[in-house]
Chains A and B, each alone.
Chain A
Amino acid sequence: MNIIDSANLVYRKTPVMTDLTMHYCPGCSHGVVHKLVAEVIDEMDIQDKTIGIAPVGCAVFAYKYIDIDWQQAAHGRAPALATAVKRLLPDRYVFTYQGDGDLAAIGTAETIHACNRGENIVIIFINNGIYGMTGGQMAPTTLDGMKTATSPSGRSVPLNGYPLDMTKLLAELDGTCYVTRQSVHSLGAVRKTKKALRKAFENSMLEKGTSVIEVVSTCNSGWKMTPDESNKWMVENMFPKYPMGDLKDR
């Protein structure tokens, strides 16, 4: 059998991904989500019409892996950049890719107001409950009792307040049209996340408002677990606080 015959092809790396080896830790969710974004751009044939806004954090180098035009924002400011890009280029697909420190802490104002204005953009929100890039410090989304570099005895509500469910908050805003929470820890979950991403990208041309896709993710290095343990820990601990599914679809 000639395996390179297109009839026999069962898998093809999307050409929207570059050939660069990723800097992400083995087991990290970023790689999977990057691939899904690239596949959606490929399948929708919008590589020439898509502009990505990269965050500060582990995904700061997203522009190295997804072969489209990118702007890299200051910490938390991606939704402000995306607002201007989309307003000036309304026929382009514009998305931000942000972590929980970026989106739910330092960029809270920019995120809420972009969503509240109903900017026709896609916000991809990677929530792993920790600051990965800077070495595993506490994030707004860190669970109660979760140990991090800046909460070595575990997050304490009297000291640090409650874990922030930013996605729930964004779903409350009139400007959002599609708000969903997904994950990429299993084949089924990966398929659902891809479907959600496709829907979000399609929404951005329908003038319905902002689409937000939270991907509850693992940071096995930051969590100090194996990739497999991380997935289990995420299902057992993260999912009860951040339950899967659509929060809003209009």
Chain B
Amino acid sequence: MRTEQEEIRLMKGNEAIAEAAIRCGCDGYFGYPITPQSEIMETLMDLRPWESTGMVVLQAESETASINMVYGAAGCGKKAMTSSSSPGMSLMQEGLSYIACAELPCVVVNVMRGGPGLGTIQPSQADYYQSVKGGGHGDYKLITLAPASVQEMADFTMLAFELAFKYRNPALILADGIIGQMMEKVVLPPYQARMTEEEIRRKYPWATLGKLRGQKQNIITSLCLLPEEMEAVNLHLQAKYRQVEQNEVRYETLHCDDAEYLIVAFGSTARVCQKAVETAREQGIKVGLLRPITLYPYPSEAIARIAGRGRGVLTVEMSAGQMLDDVRLAVNGAVPVEFFGRLGGIVPAPDEVFEALKTKLIKENV
């Protein structure tokens, strides 16, 4: 079954995450079923990686337990991950705040569905605020990647682990129900070996693997009662976030070189918008598309630069307008920024986006 080569398969986004997790040497997955992402744990249970790579897969009693199992595993320097969908992510916010403060690397996948509340199982992007503005208590950030294809579900699983360990910070893959459920061709990466304990001790000397003779004890904690010390912890985190912002911004552009109008959209919405851009171009309207790949750190400079050359920006989301705030902050009043969104699990159609572009943006500029 195991190969040293890439493999091409047709699979669901959720399945791609499970495959990629095993292939990138993940040590432990801890999860709780919730639609539309249950295939991640189902696929893992089916593939039985504990018999091949030794990866642990465990169904927890709740998302609260899952994220805390991830805490425990990550504290041992292990590659640990969990996945959920919107309501379950709300339960994980406590754990994420602790993990961010304790500076533990881990990967969390959110395959978003419509909310608030129990909402719907249909796709949504309304957890943007929760993902990039904190979510839990305190000042912290999650490195947030937004895949727009099944291929990116696999690629970003690897990338998320890489970034999580590089910065000792939780990394979030923020997908939506479409990306999780749809099937596409995907090139799966070759298998990487899991880290040995010796490797973990060498590379991550903070890991709690047992205090060896002559070494000092390792303590994973987020507690710091003295305010001066807690401020120092916070300043350290903030300095780390500035590094992340400097090094890790990722985005993709389409037809932006001569764009008079710019659409900003992420995830599956960006693919809908791609069609709208093509329609507009066929009619002679110079529209470009910027797709943020990292939602934190956000590609503010690129948006400001491209938008500044044009006449207006349309932000399209499956929400009431959350990323819109960041686009407006980036553009900073240089040109009008308008919004089009569908809510509660409705996916916008390309012609709706094109219509919104014409009515909200282009007409105003005529």
Taking CB atoms, residues of chain B closer than 8 Å to A70 are 208, 217-221
Number of A-B residue pairs having CB atoms within 8 Å of each other in the complex: 124
- Does B86 sit within 8 A of A, measured CB to CB? no
A54-103 contacts to B (CB < 8 Å)? 54, 60, 63, 67-74, 77, 80-85, 87-89, 92
B77: min CB distance to chain A, Å: 10
> How far, in angstroms, from A198 to B102 measured CA to CA in the complex?
31
A67 to B221, Cβ gap below 8 A?
A: no
Choice from A53, A87, A92 contacting B210 with Cβ under 8 Å? A92
Taking CB atoms, residues of chain B closer than 8 Å to A67 are 211, 217
> How far, in angstroms, from A84 to B62 measured CA to CA in the complex?
14
A71 to B58, Cβ gap below 8 A?
A: no
Q: Which of B56, B65, B223 has the most CB of A within 10 A?
A: B65
A236: min CB distance to chain B, Å: 36
B200: min CB distance to chain A, Å: 10
- Does A113 sit within 8 A of B, measured CB to CB? yes
- Does A144 sit within 8 A of B, measured CB to CB? no
B208 to A113, Cβ gap below 8 A?
A: no
A69 to B62, Cβ gap below 8 A?
A: no
> How far, in angstroms, from A152 to B364 measured CA to CA in the complex?
66
> How far, in angstroms, from A77 to B75 measured CA to CA in the complex?
14
Taking CB atoms, residues of chain A closer than 8 Å to B58 are 83-84, 87
Taking CB atoms, residues of chain A closer than 8 Å to B30 are 84
A88 to B68, Cβ gap below 8 A?
A: no
> How far, in angstroms, from A71 to B221 measured CA to CA in the complex?
6
> How far, in angstroms, from A67 to B61 measured CA to CA in the complex?
32
Q: Known: A63-B217, A69-B209, A89-B209. Is A84-B61 also a contact (CB below 8 A)?
A: no
- Does A202 sit within 8 A of B, measured CB to CB? no
A68 to B61, Cβ gap below 8 A?
A: no
Choice from A48, A63, A72, A92 contacting B222 with Cβ under 8 Å? A72
Considering the complex, give the chain A residue whose CB is closest to the CB of B95: A74
Taking CB atoms, residues of chain A closer than 8 Å to B65 are 77, 80, 83, 109-110, 113
B95 to A51, Cβ gap below 8 A?
A: no
Choice from A63, A83, A88 contacting B219 with Cβ under 8 Å? A63
> How far, in angstroms, from A11 to B28 measured CA to CA in the complex?
44
- Does A49 sit within 8 A of B, measured CB to CB? yes
B: interface residue count bin: 35 or more
B93: min CB distance to chain A, Å: 11
Considering the complex, give the chain A residue whose CB is closest to the CB of B77: A88
B68 to A73, Cβ gap below 8 A?
A: yes
- Does B94 sit within 8 A of A, measured CB to CB? yes
> How far, in angstroms, from A60 to B219 measured CA to CA in the complex?
12
> How far, in angstroms, from A113 to B60 measured CA to CA in the complex?
8
A48 to B213, Cβ gap below 8 A?
A: yes
- Does B73 sit within 8 A of A, measured CB to CB? yes
- Does A210 sit within 8 A of B, measured CB to CB? no
B210 to A83, Cβ gap below 8 A?
A: no
Taking CB atoms, residues of chain A closer than 8 Å to B168 are none
Interface size on A (CB < 8 Å)? 31
- Does A47 sit within 8 A of B, measured CB to CB? yes
Q: Which of A77, A84, A110 has the most CB of B within 10 A?
A: A84
Taking CB atoms, residues of chain B closer than 8 Å to A113 are 60-61, 65
Mask, B206-234, CB within 8 Å of A = 1, is 00111111000111111100000000000
- Does A14 sit within 8 A of B, measured CB to CB? no
- Does A50 sit within 8 A of B, measured CB to CB? yes
Taking CB atoms, residues of chain A closer than 8 Å to B98 are 73-74
Considering the complex, give the chain A residue whose CB is closest to the CB of B74: A84
A94: min CB distance to chain B, Å: 9
A69 to B218, Cβ gap below 8 A?
A: yes
Q: Known: A69-B210, A74-B94, A87-B56. Is A109-B64 also a contact (CB below 8 A)?
A: yes
Considering the complex, give the chain B residue whose CB is closest to the CB of A109: B61
A48 to B94, Cβ gap below 8 A?
A: no
Choice from A47, A48, A49, A81 contacting B72 with Cβ under 8 Å? A81
> How far, in angstroms, from A235 to B73 measured CA to CA in the complex?
40
- Does B23 sit within 8 A of A, measured CB to CB? no
A84 to B210, Cβ gap below 8 A?
A: no
- Does B141 sit within 8 A of A, measured CB to CB? no
Considering the complex, give the chain A residue whose CB is closest to the CB of B78: A88
- Does B154 sit within 8 A of A, measured CB to CB? no
> How far, in angstroms, from A77 to B64 measured CA to CA in the complex?
8
Listed A/B pairs (23) with beta-carbon separation below 8 Å: A48-B211, A63-B217, A68-B210, A69-B210, A71-B75, A72-B102, A72-B219, A72-B221, A73-B72, A74-B95, A77-B65, A77-B95, A80-B69, A82-B72, A84-B70, A84-B76, A88-B27, A88-B76, A89-B76, A89-B209, A109-B61, A109-B65, A113-B61
Listed from nearest, the 3 A-B pairs whose CB atoms lie closest are A81-B72, A84-B72, A80-B68
